[in-house]
A = this chain, B = another copy of it.
Amino acid sequence: MNNKTQTLKGFRDFLPRESRVRNYVKNILTDTFLSFGFQPLETPALEYKSTLIGKSGSETDKLLYSFTDKGDRQIGLRYDLTVPAAKVLTIYQNEISLPFKRFQIQPVWRADKPQKGRYREFVQSDIDIYGSSSPLAEAEIVAIIYQALTKLNFKKFQIKLNSRIVLSQIIAQSGVKIDKNTVLQSLDKLDKIGNKGVKDELVSKGLTPTQIDSLFDYIKTAQPDDYLKQVFDAISLLGVPQDYFSFSPTLVRGLDYYTGPIFETFIEDSNIGAIGGGGRYDDLIKSLGGPDVPAVGYAFGFERLIEVINDLDLLPELSQSPTKVMIANFDPQTLPQSLKLASLLRQNNLNTFFYPNPDKIAKQFKYADSQKIPFVVIIGSDEAKNNLVTFKNMQTREQKTVTSEELLQILC
């Protein structure tokens, strides 16, 4: 290590404050997933390259961190959480009972061009239900999104739903003959390039103006199909308020593999775009070489969630130190009392930092300020003699001398 020591571009060190926010969000997501009976899964960072690439070919290969290991195996770093889950469903078929509701929160790596909000190492947070063709599966996913975002203090957000089946019908009805995925790719850009942009693009793809008008008319008047209606009904019954989800016939999502309902979530006070998305993909696991199981899932955009939480200051308490008290290193004579107090505070679930160095007391207070520790306790010889402690509220700068029982009552 030397002056040029640096962290790789697109990678991040998380110092305590950031690490705290990330862990907090991870814990809220985990608790929510568990409350819906979802089970945790973890897979290795490294896999055979052939497993990671599957049939996806050059697009994934381009972004994959892959190399030859010392045993001459072609291996690579986890690129997403869908392929490893398919691997697990393949290998452990006899151990996993369906329906399998699993969640997985792990970093993935992509050799992408780093830019604002795009990293080469980032956390994905996926929930999926394998082995169910019931609309209750979709409904539970939406209920989880609602619960998780509410617990994360988001007040205004919208979960938009559509269905690939609805979209296919619209395309068929409007008399379009070209591949429907080509049309979907253009429709997916509505938010970015607007009606006119999409229409121009469709013209260039060979659609006639009549077909395009018809397509847009059908979209305007589209209604959920029977399956999606059942999803909506179940979402309501699961307690999600009407304001938080809606049918959105222009919602398309980029990926080809969806076979039914699709969903995306938007934060209303933020222009960051979708902070999560998913849908039903009944054929994908099989096409990846896994068993033939229907699947529906959703990916929480973990990094975007963190970004919006920071932007909107949704978790101000996390700027505070998790440490409640610092015990100053004031007087070698009163060290026994100070150490015993540390032990007592910790027994009472108060996170307590003991300042280990015999520094000047002004320096110790400055340290507590820099760490945003709200209380500092001092035990001098007078206090020790009388079984008392002096504590300072670092915000009000007030100082008081009390018994340790009184201190506990004040801090707990």
Report if A273 contacts B (CB, 8 A).
no
> In chain A, residues 28-80, which have Cβ atoms closer than 8 Å to a Cβ of chain B?
30, 34-37, 39-48, 51, 54, 65, 67-70, 73, 75, 77
A129 vs B340: C-alpha distance in the bound complex, in angstroms?
20
Asked if B42 and A13 sit within 8 Å, CB to CB, the answer is yes
Q: Tell me whether A370 is interfacial, beta carbon within 8 Å.
A: yes
A87 to chain B, nearest CB (A): 6
Closest to A134 in B: B356
Contacts of A39 in B (CB 8 A): 16, 19, 322
Residue of B nearest to A14 (CB): B42
Chain B residue with Cβ nearest A322: B34
Q: Which 7 A-B pairs have the closest CB atoms?
A: A37-B353, A1-B289, A67-B67, A16-B39, A11-B44, A237-B339, A239-B343
**Total copies of the chain:** 2
Contact, CB under 8 Å: A357 / B239: no
Chain A residues 199 to 236 lying within 8 A of chain B, measured CB to CB, are: 234
Q: Is A101 an interface residue (CB 8 A)?
A: yes
Complex partner residue of A95 from B11, B15, B353, CB under 8 angstroms: B15
Cβ B335 vs Cβ A237 within 8 A: yes
Identify which of B83, B289, B354 contacts A140 (C-beta below 8 A): B354
Q: Which of B44, B120, B139, B290 contacts A1 (CB 8 A)?
A: B290
Residues of B near A6 (CB, < 8 A) are 48, 91
Q: Which chain A residues in 323-363 approach chain B with CB under 8 Å?
A: 323, 326, 329, 335-336, 339-340, 342-343, 346-347, 349-358
Whole-angstrom distance between the Cβ of A61 and the nearest chain B Cβ: 11
For residue A387, CB closer than 8 A to chain B, the reply is: no
Contact assessment for B73 and A8 in the assembled complex, using a CB-CB cutoff below 8 Å: yes
A-B contact pairs, 15 of them (CB 8 A): A1-B288, A1-B290, A7-B87, A13-B43, A13-B92, A15-B41, A15-B96, A16-B40, A19-B39, A35-B350, A37-B323, A99-B355, A134-B358, A140-B354, A234-B339
Known contacts A238-B339, A346-B35, A351-B34: does B356 contact A13 (CB below 8 Å)? Answer: no
Q: Does A133 contact B (CB under 8 A)?
A: yes
Shortest distance between the CB of A380 and any CB in chain B (Å): 17
Chain A 77-108 near chain B by CB (<8 Å), digits 1 or 0: 10000011011101110011101011000010
Contact A37 B129 (CB under 8 A): no
Contact assessment for A87 and B357 in the assembled complex, using a CB-CB cutoff below 8 Å: no
Instruction: Flag whether A2 is at the interface (Cβ < 8 A).
Output: yes
User: Across the interface, do A46 and B97 meet the contact criterion of CB distance under 8 Å?
Assistant: no
Residues of chain B within 8 A (CB-CB) of A303 are: none
Contacts of A143 in B (CB 8 A): 343
Q: Which residue of B lies closest to A323 (CB)?
A: B37
B351 close to A237 (CB less than 8 A): no
State whether the Cβ of A304 lies closer than 8 Å to any Cβ in chain B: no
Task: State the CA gap A342–B35 with chains docked (Å).
Answer: 10
**Which residues of A137-191 have CB atoms within 8 Å of chain B's CB atoms?**
137, 139-140, 143, 147
Q: CB-CB < 8 A to A54: which residues of B?
A: 1
Known A2-B289, A88-B15; contact A99-B41, beta-carbon cutoff 8 A: no
User: CA A37 – CA B347 in complex, angstroms?
Assistant: 13
A111 within 8 A of B: yes
Is A121's beta carbon under 8 Å from chain B? yes
